[in-house]
Each structure stands twice: as structure tokens, then as C-alpha cells.
């Protein structure tokens, strides 16, 4: 995201993100430039040369199906002629030959295969099906066997899930034509069969997720509720966890920290657990609690639940209290005990939005600002709703002002930023309009496109001073940044921001500093003092809101533990960003927390009967970087010394020993995870907690992306799509993507919005600044009434490369022997 200001932006982790379309259904004979279909890859041996001779046409009816030896052959369709290929030696038999030739071949050449009564798999084929290297997320045997048995059925489900196609898609004549080009009508053509297979794959994919969840100690849950345009509410629940923490065999065999990342080598592992309709139920905390409790039991996560990331709605507070005090305090599961209680993580982006909303509310009390905001919003709306204005701006290559839901206050900053960046272009475009041919456009925009210089100056100062909210909001949509160790740096960075704002409001000059530079509070010389104070007063008015949310961080030691367990930060980072007195208090609270955690860990090996007797627990670039100690006194104690002074007993031996380790020079979360992989034997109990916190989400952006996707599907023109089927397709799509069936991810979800997808496609500036908006907001009539788009967080997507299901099995399966 670009802003109008030129001051330094927050220093955040800069990590390389791997860039990642699904292939269309190919003809039976692929060319060198086209990947083979999954069926051909399963049924063929890689290095076998096919010698096909011309032969007269034979009847294609049920040729190979007549042979009882068909299990020893694969059926190929070459040049529209069927061939049977021996799975052991690769010998080919033409369609029309006697099926007795098949039995003679197996009896004479492969007699041992008859005794086994099962087709053997050649060494070459076995190697082709196994992974080239160990993968962190593995597929269950039942899923692998089903995919190998029916690759075309898998292709059908991948297609339907990706595009949310209606189930009667399989009845289309065109689909039947495609199906007849493949062997034995392998693709699904019956809606009944489709429903059966969808439920089957959903069960197998759930088994696969549960299979991986068994190897983690603690999970983070994200949840939120979204109401569709048809007033039906949906609850989305997502789970994030560190893979393979308890899988000692895989950890030792891997010899690489990638076993602790996802299959694409990213420190992200978030899955859609359930997407369920709440119907017209009220969104009370008690109702949410009842549904959520059933979901926890269904997925066997009660014992592993450690943190829940939600927004700050009142019903979420009530839900958390019901869950913790009425349920978990009674049964005392291990995750609840290790952390003292299941912790409520307040979505950082939601907090930023609420704080910024206070700033906007205060600014709108000034008539000049209120009028300016109103004009920018109206201009953005006209650009989106008026076909004539939209086409004219597109013709001149001028970006549109993003139009967002007004409850997303931070997008007011985006609107004003884009407006100021292109104000000169808008003015020039308007002046060049022909008064005869563009009378309608002129009448629509002439009253809102002209701004006084004084107004532009005030808006520019506002954008510069509030740039930090826009940048942080965008930053925490990045999966590599969205984790719990970033929590403390974020809140203390905002505290430093408010401290300097109050200083500027008092008339003090803010000097430039390396790294985080807040000298923009001084404002340009031409800005009047009154206008400057209006902006600073609005920011000052939001300080109380910030303090309320900071207090939730300060009473939760888990945030501070997360920073210390990051080997690129440790206690040194805390010492940099807080005063001595607070530092001492926080370290004492952290030590108390760790005593409880290590105590519970030591009891983890006792029997279930003994475990019930455990008493209730008492209640750089990797991080956002700034330093309140511009010139710290080297003679004073460091954070490490203060930490060890608190630990004068043996209960924190592993914890104290870890503190003596030097801060590593790495600047990425992957490097921090690599350090913990190397030291997992040295600090076994801390290793489990550190990895879990790296995968604990600090925002609920992943859930909001689910709602963004669902909003493109749950439309009035698709009212017949049942709520149950919506949830099933959402889960299948998410599972297929996360377990590698789509190569590294899916094509941008914007492809589902075909009206928006082709607008200004050749204008990268426009695409970068344009939010996701559904097609029902794109109206041909200037006066059309449209519905508000559901709330969402928007971020650009990365296109993916073609991938076949067989590629996915080869990449994702983690088994030392042939599956099945």
C-alpha cells in the first residue's frame, strides 16, 4: 500500500514470499508443452515408449472390462483407441484383441502376481508416486488410495470446488462430451454420485487434517460471524498450528526445519475447520459458545485449544467467558492448564480500525473536514457506479478511488490517499471533458471535484499523520507478520506514536530519528497552526481508546513470552521498547507464567488419572522495530541480567538457560524457527511453546478472507445453493489448497467476480488500489441502488501454476512405503 506521505514507514520483517491455475481438462494425448493428465500419470510408467501402429477400427464396447485380469493392466486412450498396458513390464495390448492374451501374458510372464491376487507396483512407478523429499503436511492413506483409484473423480471435485459450480454442472451436455473422450466415462456425470463423492472426500480430508493435528501440542482458533445479503448468518472457524512438534520420527529424519513449515516452506498453516450456517439465530455469546463447543468435540480439539483470535465485539467477550469459566475451568484440558487459561487474542486490525474510527469521528466535527470526506466518498461512489465516468477514467488510464464499506474506517484513509495521489490527474481529466458530449458527467462531478488549496493541505497533513494506521493495517494482512510475537511491538509502537503526537500538540518540535521517523507531526511551514491542531487534537482524542486495548495486552503475559521466545528478539527487544520500571514488572509476570507452564509440562508424562490431580493454574526486522532508548547507558543492567535476578530457584532452569543464549542475527520468522529446530533437544519444553506461539494469529484476516470468498458465492442469483453445500465446498476448497492439490494455492479469488476481473486489467496502478467488490455493486445505470459489500480485508493475490492431482500426491504424501 502506498501513502501520500514521504516519512519513514515501520520497519517490519521483509521476507520472501514464494510465488505460486489449475490445469484444464486435457485431451487424451498431451504434447510436450502440456502436462499429462492425472489418469495418464497414474496409469503409465514414466520411461516407457509407446509404439502405436495403425489398426482397423474395433468395437469399443466394454473391451477390457470382460477380463478378470484387468487389475493387472491400466487402460489408456491413445488416438481415440483403447490400449491395455501391463503395470509390471509396460507391454501394450490393442483394443479388439482377445482378452485371453491378457491372461496368457500375466500367467507366463508374471506368475507371482497371480498368487498375491493384487497388482504389484513396479519400482519405477513406486518411486514416481513417493515424495522426493519429506513434507510437513501429510495425506492420510485413505485419501491417497481414493485419489489413485479415481483420479478423474478428483479432477471433477477440484473443478467444482474451485469455481463453486452448481452440482447440476455434471449433467451438462458439454461435460458429457468431455467425459466421453476419457476412458470408461471416468468423470462424474450423476448428481447423486457427485454428492456421494463430495461427502466421501470431505470425510477423507477431515481425516487428513486430524492426522496432522495429532502431532501438535496447542492450536490457535480464529472465528467470526458474517451475515450474507440474504440475512443468513455463517460462523467460520479456522485452526492454525505448528506441524510435527510431537512427531519425533519426522523431526529426526527431516534434518531440516522445513518439517516445521507448511508444504510450500512458509511459516503459515491455517485451515478452515468449519463453515456453518447459524440461520436466523441471535449472535449471542451463549449461542456461539454452544456451536463452538460442538465443533471442538467433533474435531477432538478440546485438549489442544490454547488461544482464540476474535474481534472485539461484546458477544465475543461473553462467548469467551462462557467457554473458559463455565466449561474449560471444569474439565481442565492440557492447553487450558499450560497457558493458565485459554487466551483471548483481540484482532489487531480490528483494534486499529476502531482507534482510527475515533480519529475520523473527531475530525468530522470540523465542518471543513466533514465536507472534504463527504466529497471524496461521493466521488469514489460515482466512479464505481457510473458507467460513463468509469469508462472515461479507464480510457485516460486514471486510477479510481476505492469505495469501501463505511464501517471500515481505515479505508477512509485509503480513499483520501488515492484521491490526493491522483488529484491533479482528476482535475486535468475534468477540465478536458467536452461540454457537449460529456454534459452528463460534468453535471455529476463538477460540484465535488473542486477543492480549495487550504483543504488539500489539511488532507495531506491528515494522511501523513495517520499513515501509520494504514500501513500497519496492510502489514498485518501478511501471513508472515500475522503472529503473536508481533503484538507487543505493535502496541508499544503506537504508544510511542501517541507520546510524540502529544508533544507536538504542546508545541514541541519533533526531531528526525533513524528508523521510525515521526517528524511529520511538525507539518509543513505553509500549514496554519489551527489546521495542524485540528488533526493533532483528533489523534489525541483517540488516545483513550488505545489505552483501553493496551490494558488487555498488559494483563496477558503470553504476549511478552512470545517476544522472548523469538530468538531474534528475546528480552532485549522488551528492554528497548519500555521503561525500566515497567520492564521489571513484565519480567516478573513472565517468570510467574513460565513457572506454571513448565510445571504442567513436567506432569505431561504422568497417567491420565494422575494428570487430573494437577491443581488449577493461577490466574530488527523480525518485529516492528523502534527503540525508545536512543542512547542506552551500557553500565546499566541488560534485560538478561534482570531476568536472571528473578529466577533464584530451580523451577525455571530451562527458561534461565535459554535467556543466556545470544540473540541471533536472523531477520525472518523462518530463521527463528530454524533456530528452535536446531535447539529442540536442548530446550524441549520451550520448543513446544515457542512453535505454537509462532503459529498463533494476531489478527482474524484469514476468516475475513473466507467471508470475502463466500460473499462472491452466497448471492441472490444463487439462492438455491444450500447452506450445507456452501460450507462443504468452502471446506473442500480450503483443504485441497492447503494440502497441495492446487499448486501452492488458488488463482486470485477475484476471478469469481467476472465483472470486476476485466476492469482496467492492463492498469496495474488501478488494480493495486482497487478493493474487492462483488458484481452486484457494478451497475450500468448511474442511479442504480446497490447493496453494501460484506466487510472484508483485501489483499492482492498471487497467481499459481498448473498442477495435477497426481503432482499433489507425489509432493504431499509422506510414507516410506507404497501407500495401499
Q: Give the position of cell 502489514.
A: 475
- Residues 6 or more apart whose CB falls under 8 angstroms from that of 520 comprise 5, 7, 464, 465, 467
Report the 10 Å Cβ neighbour count for 50: 12
Residue 597's nearest CA partner among 331, 337, 341, 246 is 337
- Give yes or no for residue 230 having a pLDDT over 80: no
Instruction: Kindly report the backbone phi and psi dihedral angles of residue 425, in degrees, each rounded to the nearest multiple of 5, phi listed first.
Output: -70, -40
Q: What is the 3-state secondary structure (H, E, C) of 215-232?
A: CCCCEEEEEEEEECCCCC
Give the three-state DSSP class for 237.
strand
Dump pLDDT digits (tens) for 627-673.
554 444 444 444 455 555 555 556 789 999 999 999 998 778 899 99
346 DSSP β-pair partners: 310
Q: Rounded to whole angstroms, how far apart are CA atoms 329 and 422?
A: 56
Dump pLDDT digits (tens) for 89-147.
778 888 766 667 777 787 877 876 665 544 443 333 332 333 333 478 999 999 998 88
Per-chain mean pLDDT for the chain? 77
Among 223-232, 241-250, 283-292, 550-559, name the one with the lowest average pLDDT. Answer: 223-232
Instruction: Kindly report the backbone phi and psi dihedral angles of residue 240, in degrees, each rounded to the nearest multiple of 5, phi listed first.
Output: -125, 135
Query: Domain residues of the chain, as ranges?
Result: 46-121, 354-445+453-475, 484-694
Dump pLDDT digits (tens) for 596-612.
999 988 876 443 444 44
Instruction: Kindly report the backbone phi and psi dihedral angles of residue 134, in degrees, each rounded to the nearest multiple of 5, phi listed first.
Output: -65, 140
When pLDDT is averaged across residues 619-623 and rounded to a whole number, the result is 44
Per-residue pLDDT at 97: 65
Dump pLDDT digits (tens) for 458-484.
999 999 999 999 999 989 988 889 999
When pLDDT is averaged across residues 575-583 and rounded to a whole number, the result is 93
In the chain, what percentage of residues exceed pLDDT 90?
A: 44
Strands 81-86 and 343-346, how do they pair? unpaired
Residue 99's nearest CA partner among 127, 72, 66 is 66
Q: Which residue has the higher pLDDT, 544 or 787?
A: 544
Q: Rounded to whole angstroms, how far apart are CA atoms 600 and 611?
A: 9
- Give yes or no for residue 414 having a pLDDT over 80: yes
In a 13 Å sphere around the CA of 289, the CA atoms on its Cβ side amount to 17
**Crossing angle of the two packed helices 529-541 and 543-554, in degrees rounded to 10:** 30
Predicted confidence band of residue 560 (pLDDT cuts 50, 70, 90): very high
Amino acid at each position: 500500500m502506498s501513502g501520500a506521505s514521504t516519512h519513514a514507514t515501520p520497519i517490519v520483517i521483509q521476507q520472501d514470499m514464494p510465488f505460486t491455475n489449475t490445469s484444464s481438462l486435457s485431451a487424451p494425448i498431451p504434447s510436450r508443452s502440456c502436462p499429462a493428465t492425472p489418469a495418464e500419470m497414474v496409469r503409465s510408467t514414466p520411461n516407457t515408449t509407446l509404439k502405436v501402429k495403425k489398426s482397423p477400427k474395433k468395437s469399443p464396447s466394454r473391451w477390457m472390462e470382460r477380463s478378470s485380469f484387468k487389475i493387472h493392466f491400466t487402460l489408456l486412450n491413445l488416438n481415440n483407441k483403447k490400449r491395455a498396458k501391463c503395470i509390471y513390464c509396460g507391454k501394450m495390448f490393442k483394443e479388439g484383441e482377445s482378452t485371453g492374451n491378457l491372461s496368457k501374458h500375466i500367467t507366463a510372464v508374471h506368475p507371482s502376481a497371480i498368487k498375491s491376487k493384487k497388482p504389484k507396483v513396479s519400482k519405477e512407478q513406486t518411486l514416481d508416486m513417493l515424495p522426493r523429499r519429506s513434507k510437513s503436511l501429510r495425506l492420510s492413506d485413505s485419501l491417497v488410495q481414493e485419489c489413485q483409484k479415481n483420479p478423474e473423480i478428483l479432477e471433477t471435485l477440484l473443478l467444482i470446488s474451485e469455481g463453486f459450480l452448481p452440482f447440476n454442472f455434471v449433467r451438462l451436455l458439454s461435460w458429457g462430451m468431455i467425459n466421453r473422450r476419457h476412458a470408461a466415462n471416468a468423470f462424474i456425470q450423476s448428481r447423486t454420485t457427485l454428492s456421494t463423492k463430495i461427502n466421501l472426500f470431505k470425510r477423507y480430508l477431515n481425516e487428513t487434517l486430524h492426522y496432522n493435528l495429532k502431532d501438535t501440542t496447542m492450536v490457535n482458533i480464529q472465528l467470526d460471524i458474517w451475515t450474507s445479503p440474504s440475512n443468513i448468518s455463517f460462523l467460520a472457524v479456522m485452526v492454525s498450528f505448528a506441524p510435527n512438534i510431537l512427531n519425533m520420527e519426522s523431526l529426526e529424519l527431516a534434518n531440516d526445519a522445513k518439517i516445521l513449515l507448511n508444504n510450500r516452506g512458509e511459516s503459515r498453516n491455517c485451515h478452515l475447520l468449519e463453515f456453518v450456517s447459524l440461520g436466523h439465530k441471535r449472535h449471542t455469546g451463549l449461542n456461539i459458545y454452544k456451536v463452538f463447543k460442538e465443533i471442538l468435540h467433533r474435531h477432538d480439539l478440546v485438549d489442544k485449544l490454547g488461544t482464540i483470535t476474535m474481534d472485539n465485539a461484546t458477544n465475543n467477550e461473553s462467548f469467551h467467558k462462557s467457554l473458559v469459566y463455565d466449561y474449560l475451568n471444569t474439565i481442565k484440558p492440557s492447553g487450558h492448564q499450560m497457558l493458565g487459561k485459554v487466551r483471548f487474542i483481540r484482532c489487531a486490525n480490528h483494534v486499529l480500525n476502531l482507534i482510527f474510527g475515533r480519529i475520523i469521528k473527531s475530525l468530522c466535527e470540523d465542518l471543513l473536514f466533514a465536507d472534504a470526506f463527504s466529497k471524496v466518498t461521493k466521488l469514489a461512489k460515482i466512479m464505481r457506479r457510473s458507467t460513463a465516468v468509469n469508462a472515461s477514467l479507464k480510457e485516460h488510464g486514471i486510477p479510481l478511488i476505492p469505495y469501501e464499506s463505511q464501517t471500515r474506517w481505515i479505508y477512509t484513509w485509503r480513499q483520501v490517499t488515492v484521491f490526493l495521489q491522483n488529484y491533479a490527474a482528476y482535475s486535468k481529466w475534468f477540465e478536458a471533458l467536452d461540454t457537449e458530449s460529456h454534459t452528463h458527467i460534468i453535471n455529476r462531478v463538477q460540484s465535488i471535484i473542486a477543492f480549495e488549496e487550504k483543504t488539500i493541505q489539511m488532507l495531506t497533513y491528515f494522511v501523513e499523520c495517520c499513515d501509520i494506521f494504514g500501513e500497519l493495517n496492510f502489514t498485518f494482512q501478511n501471513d508472515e507478520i500475522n503472529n503473536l510475537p508481533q503484538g507487543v511491538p505493535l502496541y508499544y509502537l503506537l504508544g510511542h506514536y501517541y507520546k510524540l503526537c502529544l508533544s507536538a500538540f504542546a508545541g514541541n518540535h519533533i526531531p528526525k530519528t533513524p528508523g521510525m521517523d515521526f517528524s511529520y507531526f511538525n507539518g509543513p511551514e505553509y500549514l496554519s497552526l489551527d489546521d495542524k491542531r485540528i488533526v493533532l487534537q483528533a489523534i489525541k482524542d483517540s488516545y483513550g481508546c488505545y489505552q483501553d486495548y493496551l490494558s488487555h495486552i498488559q494483563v496477558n503475559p503470553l504476549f511478552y513470552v512470545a517476544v522472548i521466545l523469538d530468538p531474534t528478539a528475546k528480552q532485549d527487544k522488551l528492554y528497548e521498547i519500555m521503561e525500566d520500571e515497567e520492564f521489571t514488572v513484565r519480567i516478573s509476570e513472565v517468570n510467574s507464567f513460565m513457572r506454571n507452564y513448565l510445571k504442567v509440562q513436567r506432569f505431561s508424562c504422568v497417567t491420565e488419572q494422575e494428570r487430573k490431580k494437577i491443581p488449577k493454574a493461577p490466574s530488527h526486522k523480525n518485529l516492528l522495530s523502534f527503540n525508545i532508548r536512543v542512547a542506552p547507558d551500557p553500565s546499566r543492567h541488560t534485560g538478561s541480567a534482570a531476568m536472571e535476578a528473578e529466577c533464584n530457584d530451580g523451577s525455571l532452569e530451562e527458561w534461565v538457560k535459554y535467556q543466556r543464549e545470544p540473540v541471533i542475527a536472523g531477520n525472518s520468522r523462518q530463521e527463528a524457527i530454524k533456530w528452535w529446530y536446531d535447539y529442540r533437544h536442548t530446550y524441549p519444553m520451550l520448543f513446544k511453546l515457542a512453535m505454537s506461539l509462532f503459529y498463533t494469529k494476531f489478527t482474524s484476516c484469514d476468516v475475513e478472507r473466507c467471508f470475502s470468498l463466500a460473499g462472491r458465492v452466497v448471492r441472490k442469483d444463487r439462492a438455491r445453493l444450500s447452506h450445507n453445500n456452501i460450507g462443504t465446498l468452502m471446506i473442500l476448497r480450503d483443504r485441497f489448497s492447503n494440502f497441495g492439490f492446487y499448486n501452492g494455492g488458488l488463482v486470485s479469488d477475484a476471478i469469481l467476480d467476472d465483472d470486476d476481473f476485466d476492469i482496467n486489467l492492463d492498469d496495474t496502478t488501478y488494480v493495486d488500489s482497487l478493493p474487492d467488490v462483488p458484481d452486484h455493486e457494478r451497475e450500468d445505470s448511474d442511479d442504480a441502488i446497490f447493496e453494501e459489500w460484506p466487510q472484508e480485508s483485501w489483499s492482492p493475490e498471487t497467481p499459481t501454476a498448473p498442477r495435477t492431482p497426481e503432482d499433489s500426491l507425489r509432493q504431499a504424501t509422506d510414507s516410506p512405503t507404497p501407500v495401499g
